[in-house]
């Protein structure tokens, strides 16, 4: 085994990077607690629901994950509205409008929605 005479060490100051990551995490937590956001897959199944959405809908995130918006959809709202909504999303267009939904305890709540297909 050859003798080693020296060691090369490379370092990088990651202080700013660490501070930036921490700040981004703080902002994400503020958004989660104060903004109603939901992420779905392409089939409309919920894969993420913010704490604020869970609070307003009265469902836990575990109760929403894997479900579609049918779980909160007001049955008196026009099905045509949802068909147009999905047409826009599938065409890669933003959809914006107001939706009336039902909480877990069957109370109504309105949301002004803006859906961004990604």
Nearest to 87 by CA among 46, 115, 67: 115
> What pLDDT does 1 receive?
56
The two structure tokens encoding residue 38: 């939901």
Return per-residue pLDDT of the chain as tens, 118 residues: 566 788 888 999 999 999 999 999 999 999 999 999 999 998 889 999 999 999 999 999 999 999 999 999 999 988 899 899 989 988 999 999 999 999 999 999 999 999 998 8
Taking the whole predicted model, whether its pTM rises above 0.85 is answered as no
CA distance 40 to 38: 7
> What pLDDT does 2 receive?
63
CA distance 54 to 43: 21
Rg (CA), the chain: 22
């Amino acid at each position: 085994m050859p003798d080693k005479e020296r060691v090369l060490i490379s370092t990088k100051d990651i202080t700013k990077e660490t501070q930036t990551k921490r700040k981004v995490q703080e902002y994400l937590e503020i958004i989660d607690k104060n903004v109603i956001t939901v992420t779905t897959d392409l089939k409309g199944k919920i894969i993420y629901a913010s704490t604020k959405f869970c609070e307003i809908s009265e469902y836990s995130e575990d109760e929403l994950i894997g479900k579609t918006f049918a779980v909160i959809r007001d049955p008196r709202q026009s099905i045509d509205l949802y068909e147009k909504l999905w047409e826009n999303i599938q065409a890669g267009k933003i959809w914006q409008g107001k939706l009336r939904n039902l909480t877990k305890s069957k109370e109504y709540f309105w949301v002004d929605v803006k859906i961004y297909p990604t």
